[in-house]
Structure 1
Amino acid sequence: MGKPTLVVLAAGMASRYGSLKQVDAFGPHGETIIDYSIYDAIRAGFGKVVFIIREEFEQVMRDKFDEKLKGKIDVDYAFQDFNLKKFGVDKEIERTKPWGTAHAVMSAKDVVDGPFCVINADDFYGYDAFKKMADFLTNEVDDAHMSLMGFEVGNTMSDYGYVSRGVCEVDEKGHMASVTERTNIYYVTDEQGNRKIVYEENGVQNDLPADARVSMNFWGFTPKIFEVAQDMFPQFVEENGDNPKSEFFIPSVPDHMVKNGMAAFKVIPTSSKWFGVTYVEDKPIVQESISKLLADGTYPQKLF
């Protein structure tokens, strides 16, 4: 089996951040968060990186990554657009927001032909997570056995607003029993002054334990996922096409596969510390975290 592929979701609008955070600088030599992910992926054993982007970002991304990654890892691009016909939907729907992360993954089907890992462009995951995923994709994965990295939700929060997470239920075998995308998770302070985590659904706050396992869109798949997602997508559009904010999220596909006995998803624990940028106020925190990793020798001052 060849080296696995890293698929980077970088087509988001960054509406809460206010700029194109995919290429924003966080390291001392202008390194993006993606740079640190790719650096970790290369030393973990990945052989190719595919950027899922909007077509209008192509030149910006190529200017940022092509030259410095040349000779280090194969690079390819796939475009997330609004053409529904190529995914079996015979209609046109006007909208400005992309169709979601699962739709983004579907956009990579022509440039990925083996086991692959999906990550977010704006999340820092750490080497341990990439190494464990590379080992899984090299030695264990098949169409009936895929995976995700499981993080504790308390380690994935922002102090500046809500976040979206795939909340997992894990069975006694360490497999995902279900995953539900929660798009409005945030901190509240109760009457005793204690801070706790809640998610909001239909205007109602629901408690979420700090140690609840969540997906940070760090998944290990085979190309089988393209087939399943494409089977699901037309129904999603039929049911949600009138809602301009509706999104076809990645967790809905593994959840469907688990509930229909199509595959098991191993929840891989990791010691990596996650951090990311949802809001512009998160940026100095991420920069400080990276500075500490540079100071202790986890990463070189200049990656590439």
Structure 2
Amino acid sequence: MEPQISLVILAGGLGSRFGGAKQIARLPGIDSTIMELSIADAYDAGVRHLIIIINAMVRDAIEQQILPNLPADLDVDLVEQRISDVPSEFAALAQQRSKPWGTGHALLCAKSVIRDKAIVITADDYYGDIAFQQITEHFRRSENWGCVAYPLLNTLSEQGGVNRGICALNHAKQLLRVDEILDIQFEGNTLVGTNAQQTRVELDEHALASMTFWGIDLRLFTILEQNFYQFLSIHDNGVKKEYYLPDQIQYSIDTLGIAVDVYPAQQPWLGMTYKDELPVLAQKISALKGLTDVQHVIEE
């Protein structure tokens, strides 16, 4: 029996550095958002259920500019992440907060519409169509969770240092942990970054980095709900602390023994932070997808 696979897109970010809503920024020459390209890739891999986690400010734009472009047989749920979506005893804490609770809370908001298994991605990163094929095939033969991770060298930026979660694997190519390394860049011919001990360390450019491409199932939503309650109970400063999805996946590995199979990406990861990166990103995606007329449109 084929598993029911949903695509969950985390699209609730406010895009402060981008200067607007990255979720609906159209790539020049391609006339598509990154999110639409990812949806098309997931659809081609057999996914027929889409959940988009949004903030209220982009609902109208997504309904008017994104949804009409999607396949007619794609079942779509729009879910708003609201700061007020907390257990009733923490309502006063929510009133003190001005920013979303984080990616763990964002995914938890989809609990009522999730069906079975899910691919979780972000709206402003392009992962390539093979990544979706890897995870859908994984779900056909395994009950483990999954992750598509990208060679570190393919995730660097020409704009300067980047922060990445470096995957540590066991002998079975399953995830042990993700180590956050900051300010990763080449210094001369050596790739270095700052670890949790604030030490500059040399990195293997072929190490795998987690770029938020997860294959999960209903078990994670129970964990997210339970641990979000604990998070709110412990972190009574409701302003800065965030409830991160990777932390909850790590908890699932360490505490519950859940296995996460890691698949090295076969295509480059492409993402953006600033609006002026859109033309370059469009060129790279067009080259990856073989769209030969995009370069001419961009240069006009």
Unaligned 5+ segments in structure 1 are 300-304
- The alpha-carbon deviation at position 167 of structure 1 amounts to 2.2
**Residue 165 in 1 paired to residue 167 in 2?**
no
1:52-131 alignment, distance < 5 Å: 52-86=53-87, 89=90, 91-93=92-94, 94-131=96-133
TM-score by length of 1: 0.87
Backbone CA RMSD of aligned residues: 2.4
Instruction: Report deviation, 1:177.
Output: 0.9
Aligned-partner SS, 1:61:
helix
C-alpha contact (below 8 Å) 1:169/1:176 kept by paired residues: yes
C-alpha deviation, 1:3, in angstroms = 3.5
TM-score by length of 2: 0.88
Select the structure that is richer in helix.
Answer: 2
- Name the counterpart of 1:257: 252
Equivalent runs, 1:181-200 vs 2, <5 Å:
181-182=180-181, 184-187=182-185, 189=187, 193-194=188-189, 196-199=191-194
Instruction: Please give the alpha-carbon distance, in whole angstroms, between the structure 1 residues aligned to 2:160 and 2:239.
Output: 22
What's the CA shift for 1:181? 4.2
Please give the alpha-carbon distance, in whole angstroms, between the structure 2 residues aligned to 1:84 and 1:185. 34
Name the residue aligned to 2:297. none
Deviates most, 201-210 or 148-157 = 201-210
Deviation at 1:250, TM superposition (A): 1.4
Deviation sequence 1:77-114 (CA, Å, 0-9, x none): 11111125348746424222211111111010011111
Aligned residues: 291
**Distance between the aligned counterparts of 2:180 and 2:82, measured in 1?**
22
Deviation of 1:154 (Å): 1.8
Identify the residue that residue 298 of structure 2 maps to in structure 1. Answer: none
Q: Aligned residue for 1:40?
A: 41
Contact kept in structure 2, 1:217 and 1:250, CA below 8 Å: no
1:170 aligned partner, one-letter code = L
Q: Which residue of 2 aligns with 1:11?
A: 12
Q: Does structure 1 conserve the Cα–Cα contact (< 8 Å) formed by 2:87 and 2:229?
A: no
Measured in 1, the distance between the counterparts of 2:178 and 2:166 equals 5
Give yes or no for contact 2:7–2:118 (8 Å, CA) kept in 1: yes
Specify the SS of the correspondent of 1:220. Answer: strand
CA distance in 1 between partners of 2:201 and 2:238 (Å): 24
- Give the corresponding residue for 1:284: 279
Partners in 2 of 1:207 and 1:239 — Cα distance? 35
Alpha-carbon distance between aligned partners in 2 of 1:128 and 1:109, rounded to the nearest angstrom: 27
Aligned counterparts of 2:111 and 2:89: Cα–Cα separation in 1:
14
Identity of aligned residues (%): 28
Task: State whether residues 180 and 196 of structure 2, in contact with CA within 8 Å, keep that contact through their aligned partners in structure 1.
Answer: no
Other structure's SS at 1:268 match: strand
What secondary structure, in the 3-state scheme, does the structure 2 residue paired with 1:260 have?
helix
- Aligned residue number for residue 137 of structure 2: 135
CA displacement at 1:54 relative to structure 2: 0.7
Aligned mates of 1:215, 1:235 — CA distance in 2: 25
Q: Kindly tell me: are residues 20 and 157 of structure 1, through their superposed partners in 2, closer, same or farther at Cα, counting changes over 3 Å?
A: same
Which residue number in structure 2 is paired with residue 302 of structure 1? none
Q: Which runs of 5+ in 2 are unaligned?
A: 295-300
